[in-house]
Each structure stands twice: as C-alpha cells, then as structure tokens.
Structure 1
Amino acid sequence: MSVPCCSLGRVDVSALRARLNDAWRAPELHCPLPIHGAGHVCVPSDAEDLAELERVAADVVDGAGRPVRAWVVGGRAAGVPDGPPVGGEGGLPIGGEGGLLELRGWVLAEHWFGYGVTATADGPRRVVILARRAFTRPPGVGWVALLREATGWTEPDRCGVDWAATEAALGTALPGDYKDIVDTFGAGSFDEYLDLLVPGALGTDLVSWGQDMARYADLYRPYPVHPAPGGVLIWGTSEQELTFHWLTGPADPDDWPVLVQYLDGEWQRFDCGTGEFVLRLLTDRTPPFAFPPSAGPFPHWFASWELPEG
C-alpha cells in the first residue's frame, strides 16, 4: 500500500491515527519516501522539533510512561537491541540523502512505532514511522510473560485466588496458564474486548458462571456443559457477544482446546492453551485468529477492575 506523502499538522492526532490504521490494514507496508521501500511507512509531520513530535507520537500510541528507545542517532545505528532493522539490505535507510538521521520510538508487541528525522532534497524532515515486527515466543518464555510485554502491564501479581477451593467448587482442575493469567492480571479486560472470568470477582465470577451453565444448556449445543464428560466450561466473555470456553475432558487441563461461540450460535475451535489464545487474539492478524484487537497498530492494554483508574 502506498500512503500519500502529505504532511500532518501539529495537532492533527486523529488524522494521524486514521492514516496509520489504513496503512496497517494493508497486506504490506510500503513507504512513499524515496529510497525507503517496503516494510514500513513514514508520515511526515509539521512538528516544530523532536520534543513536540515525541508528544504527538506518544499521544497517538498512548506511549506516555513507556520507555523511549533511540535506534538511530546522528545518521548511525545506535545498536539498541530489539529495534527495527536499520541500514543494510532490507533495513530502514540511514544517513545520506533520503536516509534517517534520527529515530526514536517504542516496541509495541507486533510493531515498532517511532518518530524521527529523515534527510530529503529540501532538507531534514520530521516523520512518524510505523514498521511491522515479528512478535514470537522465544524459547523458555511463557505466554503470560509475553502478555505482560504486549499490554505493558507492570503491576505486581494479584495472587489472591484460593485455587484449591475454586477447583473443588467446579469439580475439576483448571489450566495452569489461565491461573497464571489471573494471578498476574486479576479481574479485568484485555483491550476492553475479552473480559476475563475470575474466581470471586463481582459479576464475573468464574465459579458462578460455570455453575449457571447447566440452566442454559440448550445455548451450548451441540456440546454438553461441564461437568458432563466433554462439556464446555466458560472462562471469558466479550461485549461483542462472543463467549470463550474450554472443551474439558479427561486430558490434562493444560491440553484443553479453546472454543469460541459467536452470537449466531456457531462455534470455532482453537487447538491451543488459554495464554497462547489470548496473546494471539490481541496480536495475530492471520486466520483463524484475526480478532478485532489485532486489526490496528496501537498498543494493547489490560483494564483492571481491581485497581483505581489512572
């Protein structure tokens, strides 16, 4: 996708968001600036200086409070780990005519978002930059650690659930990664899209919801409901009127697949654990995932219902 190379006014944050959204939805990012090429897109800005441009960029991605990294300084790669590729074949051009002179920004799950200065025939030009990033699971890193990174979650673990009592009330052990998510985040919502059911949470108590399923068994056909063998057990809801379940069974709960039920009653199965499912719901733009939270280039978050806002 080629994005028209017109500049944005200093306060036109909504227009910048719209332009970046349009670019992100394209199969491939392609920058319209000379020699820049594919893999990223630059949007010129009329910001007076880098300090103002940083404020605009931080507003666009809710980046205030997140660490800003310097990737290009004085036309040279700064050598900061986990930054976008710069210089060389396939990297962002640096130095010389058309290359980046300065580049700073944020690592935000499945993309890099930054701001800086690029050289042009008419002199230095300030730009905002969006580039895709492969967000993968390194060996030995758990799904919950990646969820922390993807959402920028820095709060201490909640650790307030009596899991033995919860599992006794439900009559089954529960997946370990689900328990890790609850212990880490507590009650709340990912991207205000997936609302987590948490034992003891007001209105979203996992045990109450699970025990009530038998009263509405017809809604879950063709599956039986837990505790029937092979029954479904709900663990999440959505304002988009989706519900998220485990397909329970004799297997280890860590091997239970996830089932999503849509408003029309149709079901979709995902052969992965809860932690992987939540992370991919947020970040994976490819089917069978491609849920709405993955559609935009902006940061993911967890809205806690236990902590005060702000």
Structure 2
Amino acid sequence: MSRRFPLYFGFWHKLGVYAVRVYAAAVLLFLILPIFVIIPLSFNAEPFFSFTPEMLRLEPEAFSLRWYRQILDDPNWILSIENSFFIGICATIVATVLGTIAAVGLASPAMPFKRLITALLLSPMIVPLIIIAAGMFFFYTRFNLVGTYTGLIIAHAALGVPFVIVTVTATLVGFDRSLYDAGLGLGANPIRAFKDVVLPLIRPGVISGALFAFVTSFDEVVLVLFLAGPEQRTIPRQMFSGLREQINPTILAVATLLVIVSIALLFTLEFLRNRSIRLRGASVE
C-alpha cells in the first residue's frame, strides 16, 4: 500500500501540501459559485434575479418551472437554439476536418516553415475577437456573406480550427510513425493508411478537438453581433438581447441548461482523455 506522503516529508511539508489544497479549493469555489447560483434562481416563481424570502424559507410555492416553459413558448428562443446547434455542428465538422489535416501535416518532419505556419493557424486563439470580428465583417461584405449562415459557419470554424490542431497535435506526439510507414509498405495508399492506421489511434484527440470547437462556436457572441442577421441569432445573442431589452429569469433558465451541457461535455472530454492515456499504455491514477 502506497504512503500518503514521501518518507522525507516533515511537518512543514505536509502543512504546505494541505495549505495548497485548501487554497486551490477556495479559488475553485470562488470561480464556480457564481455560476451555480443561477441554478436555483432559474426556478424562482417571481420575475426577480434574486432570492425571495419564500425561496430562502424553501416554500414549495416559491419555486416554479414557468421560465423553462417560457423557453418553449417563445419563438425567438426556439430559433436561437436551432441556430446554435445548426451553426455549431456545421462549424465543428469543418473545423475538425481542416484542423486534423493541418495537425497531421504539421506533425510531418518534412513540413517546411513549421513554426511560422503553426503560429498563423493558432493566431485566432491569440488575436482579440473584436479585431477578428471587425476584419471578417469588412471582408465578408465583399462577398455578401454578412447575415448568412454560410458566413457564420466559416467564421466559427476559423475559431475552432486552432483547438482541433492543439488537441490532435498533442495526440500525435505519442504516435509511432513507423505504423503508418508499415501500412504504406503493405500496399495501402496514403489515404487508406491514414484512415485504417492513424485515425483510430488519434481518434480521442480528434473527438476532443471537435468538442472544443463546438463549445467555442456554441458560446461565441462577438462574431454573431457583427456578422449575423435577425434570422441567424444564436443563444448567446438572444441572451445578450434579453439583458438589454427585456430582463426576466428566462435567461437564467437558459443559462442553467447551458451549464448542464457544459458539464456533460467536460465529463466526455475527461473520458476521452483517460481513453487516450490507456491507448498509449500508460496507467491512469
């Protein structure tokens, strides 16, 4: 049975370990608590953004599902939900294909100007979104893409590609390239060797990158404000409009649903991470 601390740990070492753990838990609680506060508020029977005395006394009549029902009754929310999933899924497919191809190319030792190309491909993660949105707006106006689904999908895919590149590249670090060469040596063409040999081994990284790309698209509001028309409004755009035009706890209900979706995606990413580690033959603690 393994010891909790190394033998050379004294009193101050152990105290330091516990202090770091308590500090980390406090920081995590400080960051997460404001997010989870919205969950009980979304069940408020009254149109308030604060806890009522009845809610604090846990009276049943103080809680209601009226704001969740209002989501289904409001055509603007239904449209924004449909748009968010449609644009997010389409942008994720485009970003995953392009990002995976780019990552495989960058992993090749024969790739010239690798650092420069990597920096250019990852620049959307660094450049402020307001600059990207303004540049895309003026560029898209030349091609009549402003206010179209195609324009939004391309823009969101551009933001998702760097996340796919990062995750797939991390997976390719432990990939044995001799397996790919063996596939070629056995008569498979490059596409067949990639599909049958490389892709199954890097699939966890590809799926993780796709999830990151989807979350990036699903949560994006700056590009939507610049590029979307009335028919392309997404959930973040609708929430932004609701805070400015008509404040009611429907926004909290939608935010609660988004938190649940985010938690589900985090568990999925953790599962894929553990699976990737197992595929590499490493032990998972």
Identify, as 1 or 2, the structure richer in helix. 2
TM-score interval (norm. to shorter): under 0.3
Q: What TM-score, normalized to structure 2?
A: 0.22
More strand by share: 1
Larger radius of gyration: 2
